[in-house]
């Protein structure tokens, strides 16, 4: 029930923000999501024994988002160059146990890339002229429907474990249902509000988005398993944390962005 109520509250807000005139509202939403997800990643990293540079994961994540807003002034190479200088100073001045200093530095940089760099492609998709909202909705609907199909089929009919070392409840039956659900969702998107989407794109994107989304989910489960936790936080009742809701989207943002650039323009 909590899961449904949270979705009922947040989904209309998300739709209004995506459809709002001007990019400021969607940009603000992505920035808030990045800060919250980065904060949750920091907590996961601490539980894993690699405490990152406190708050720097959040700061660097937002800075990487800035590369989509000011591509010249805040180009990724400039942001990362500055980040390495800051980490150099922090590494030499911190009182962190020297036995974990390398893991801490790595967790700091990886966390920002994992959250900020990958999430930034959501801004890139939203900026696509004339198709930004459709691409965002295509991405989210295909993934969410696929996730739901995988969950319900896997929990009722699943018998063959997909990756028990990391996620004991996921099954091959659920994974196949997830792919089918994503393809069906992409077809519905085409027939309702994205008529220019070709049928070959429906099939290819439905399959790719589902597979990459499930891999992203497994990857975050791997991080949480190493930290000995079930959810990245309890911020969203019934859904866990923000990072738990973004895990399937993070790697799919770049996938859809570059697919559009290569095949849909």
SS3 for the chain, per residue? Answer: CHHHHHHHHHHHHHHHHHHCCCCHHHHHHHHHHHHHHHHHHHHHHHHCCCCCCCCHHHHHHHHHHHHHHCCCCCCHHHHHHHHHHHHHHHHHHCCCCCCCHHHHHHHHHHHHHHHHHHHHHHHHHHCCCCCHHHHHHHHHHHHHHHHHHHHHHHHHHCCCEEECCCEEEEEHHHHHHHHHHHHHHHHHHHHHCCCCCCHHHHHHHHHHHHHHHHHHHHHHHHHHHHHCCCCCCCCECCCECHHHHHHHHHCHHHHHHHHHHHHHC
Is the overall model pTM greater than 0.85, yes or no?
Answer: yes
| Separation CA 247–CA 239 (nearest Å) | 12
With 80 as the cut, is the pLDDT of residue 240 above it?
Answer: yes
Residues in the chain: 265
Each residue's pLDDT tens digit, 128-154 = 999 999 999 999 999 999 999 999 999
Decide: 249 and 138 in contact? Cβ < 8 Å. Answer: no
| Mean pLDDT, range 169-195, rounded to an integer | 97
Lowest-pLDDT choice from 27-36, 38-47, 97-106, 116-125: 97-106
| Separation CA 138–CA 193 (nearest Å) | 10
Nearest to residue 210, comparing CAs of 142, 262, 160?
Answer: 142
With 80 as the cut, is the pLDDT of residue 192 above it?
Answer: yes
Decide: 174 and 206 in contact? Cβ < 8 Å. Answer: no
Decide: 140 and 171 in contact? Cβ < 8 Å. Answer: no
pLDDT band at 217 (very low <50, low <70, confident <90, very high): very high
pLDDT of residue 144: 94
Beta bridge partners of residue 240, listed in sequence order: 236
Each residue's pLDDT tens digit, 175-185 = 999 999 999 99
pLDDT of residue 95: 83
With 90 as the cut, is the pLDDT of residue 3 above it?
Answer: no
| Separation CA 263–CA 84 (nearest Å) | 35
246-249, long-range: CB < 8 A, 24+ apart: 246/33, 246/37, 246/115, 246/119, 247/216, 247/217, 247/219, 247/220, 248/143, 248/147, 248/213, 248/214, 248/216, 248/217, 249/119, 249/122, 249/139, 249/140, 249/143, 249/213, 249/216
Lowest-pLDDT choice from 161-165, 183-187, 256-260: 161-165
pLDDT band at 1 (very low <50, low <70, confident <90, very high): low
């Amino acid at each position: 029930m909590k899961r449904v109520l949270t979705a009922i509250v947040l989904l209309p807000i998300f739709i209004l923000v995506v459809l709002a005139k001007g990019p400021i509202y969607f940009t603000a939403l992505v920035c808030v999501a990045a800060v919250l997800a980065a904060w949750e990643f920091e907590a996961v990293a601490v539980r894993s024994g690699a405490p990152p540079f406190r708050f720097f994961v959040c700061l660097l994540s937002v800075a990487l988002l800035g590369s989509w807003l000011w591509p010249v002034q805040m180009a990724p190479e400039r942001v990362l160059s500055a980040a390495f200088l800051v980490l150099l100073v922090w590494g030499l001045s911190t009182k962190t146990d020297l036995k974990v200093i390398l893991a801490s530095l790595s967790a700091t940089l990886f966390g920002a890339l994992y959250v900020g760099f990958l999430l930034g492609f959501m801004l890139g998709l939203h900026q696509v002229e004339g198709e930004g909202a459709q691409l965002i909705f295509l991405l989210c609907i295909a993934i969410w429907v696929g996730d739901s199909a995988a969950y319900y089929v896997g929990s009722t009919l699943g018998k063959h474990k997909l990756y028990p070392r990391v996620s004991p409840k996921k099954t091959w039956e659920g994974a196949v249902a997830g792919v089918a659900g994503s393809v069906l969702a992409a077809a519905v998107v085409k027939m309702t509000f994205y008529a220019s989407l070709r049928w070959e794109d429906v099939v290819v994107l439905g399959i790719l988005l589902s597979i990459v989304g499930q891999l992203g989910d497994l990857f975050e489960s791997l991080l949480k398993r190493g930290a000995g936790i079930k959810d990245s936080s309890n911020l969203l009742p019934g859904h866990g944390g923000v990072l738990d809701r973004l895990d399937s989207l993070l790697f799919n943002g770049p996938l859809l962005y570059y697919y559009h650039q290569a095949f849909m323009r």
